[in-house]
Amino acid sequence: MELRPWAVLVEQEGGVILRSKYRSIGLLFVLALVFALVPAVAFAAQGFSGVVKDGTTGYPIPFAHVKVFDGTVDAFDNFVPVATGDAAYDGTYSIDTDAGDETFWLEVGQKSYVTSESPDPTSPDYVLFTVDDGAFNKQDVVLEREPNFEQPIYRFFNMAGGVHFYTADNSEFINVYKNLPQYKYDGIGYSIPDGEGFSPYRDGADGEGLMNMNDVVLQRFFNKQTGVHFYTADNAEYLNVKKNLSAIYKYDGPAYNVRLTPDGVLGVSLPIFRFYNGATNAHFYTANIPEINASASLANIYKFEGIGFYTGGWQTSYALQYDVGELTDGALDDNPTIVPADETVGSIIGDARQTVVKDGYGLSVEASAAVDYSFVGWAEGLSTETTRTDGPITAPVTYTAVFEATP
């Protein structure tokens, strides 16, 4: 953030003292110079500075939003910040409060992070900070990721090579931004869900959770001849490049996870289109419709290769469970007595505990009777088929395979 110009620079004509016949003008000049310097002393810059960091990785968070609020009681009526600003590319921020020795509280936020210091004096996170007159209070801020955190994919344009570079690594982003001036920062190309999600079965919670729909690794190579990067989510293409083109392409490792199909995330998946630039021997990836149209109009330069991959989203998921029970009294269709049982009466062949996205289908399972027992049917739905595949799943659900002793 650019600080205000508290000191005013006054230039003296010719750099010499004026002659005696201009003494009155010289006196006015001296007085003007004195008054010009007063604000620099009485209103020295003060405020907060520090670094905004990711609580999971410890890496700086680029371009986080910072707000400073007056800490007095009257200020809680409207929550209007006295100063605002954004962190730099490396997470550093410096924000001027333009006030004397007072108390303030900070609110720092960024997309997909839990906002630090909620604007509520009754909140347990509410903390007041004191700023000494004419000083900067160092306050590093750590932001925790939201459960459905999405990692930005940073995009650069290599002005020397005429190609694009993409990274999900914050430390790599900072290094390129800071040390490689030939790379112009284009902004965030798109975002991807980061993490494995929350299974409904985690910690024994048989209910609802979130699932990361990106299940395919996007592989990254570096072209040693052209100095550009190549990305692919196609396993056959990845193996071919790694095996047969290693003299040209250096394998960088996994970039991040994507999807090859939009299945199960209708309305959520974002297609990433791939073009090939024959002049630079490089690929261009974009989800931006105007860019896609512009690239299509430059068919003599960019060859459209279709959808390279998809970026899925966070999808609501549910627990799908299969239990084993024993019929001890009555019939399945007439208020039976069913008690939980173990493998001595029967078992489930397949995954008895599954996590299924909303409106999706589970994996097929089969009820298998143990020795001296027979399969009666499923308690829910009264189906007598041993094999079943369930869906669409719209809520947590449990099915019980019921067995009884053979007469």
Residue 204's pLDDT band (cuts 50, 70, 90): confident
249-268: pLDDT as tens digits: 999 999 999 988 876 444 46
Determine phi and psi for 330, rounding to 5 degrees. 80, -165
| CATH tag, 47-143 | 2.60.40.1120
Q: Model confidence at 184, in pLDDT bands (50, 70, 90)?
A: very high
Q: How many CB atoms lie within 10 A of CB 36?
A: 13
- Beta pairing, strands 249-258 & 216-223: antiparallel
Q: Could you tell me which residue, 29 or 97, shows the higher pLDDT?
A: 97
pLDDT more than 70, % of the chain: 81
pLDDT of residue 134: 73
Q: In angstroms, how far is CA 164 from the centroid of its own chain?
A: 21
**Residues found in the chain:** 407
62 confidence band (pLDDT: 50, 70, 90): very high
pLDDT given for residue 165 in this prediction: 92
Can you give the residue ranges of every domain in the chain? Answer: 47-143, 151-312, 315-405
Of residues 117 and 20, more confidence is placed in: 117
Lowest-confidence region among 141-150, 293-302, 368-377: 293-302
pLDDT of residue 103: 80
Do 47-143 and 315-405 come out as alike in CATH topology?
A: yes
| Residues 147-179 pLDDT 10s | 888 999 999 999 888 888 999 999 999 999 999
Contacts of 194 by beta carbon, 8 Å cutoff, 6+ apart: 145, 149, 150, 151, 168, 212, 256
pLDDT at 345: 96
State yes or no: pLDDT of 246 exceeds 70: yes
- Convert 219-255 to b/e letters by CB count within 10 Å (16 or more is b): bbbebeeeebbbbbbeeeebeebeeeeeeebeeeeeb
Of 25-39, 58-72, 305-319, which gets the smallest average pLDDT? 25-39
Residue 296 binned pLDDT confidence (cut-offs 50, 70, 90): low
Sheet holding 249-258: strands in order across? 229-232, 216-223, 249-258
d(C-alpha 25, C-alpha 12), whole Å: 12
- Whether the per-residue pLDDT at 358 is higher than 80: the answer is yes
Instruction: Measure the CA–CA gap between 10 and 34, rounded to whole angstroms.
Output: 10
Q: What is the dihedral of CA 333, 336, 339, 341, to 10 degrees?
A: -40
pTM of the model: 0.71
How far apart are alpha carbons 405 and 407 in whole angstroms?
A: 6
CA distance 108 to 128: 14
Which fold does the domain 315-405 belong to in CATH? Immunoglobulin-like (2.60.40)
Q: What is the amino acid identity at position 174?
A: I
What value does the mean pLDDT take over residues 332-340?
89
Segment 365-405, tens digit of pLDDT: 999 999 999 999 999 877 899 999 999 999 999 999 999 99
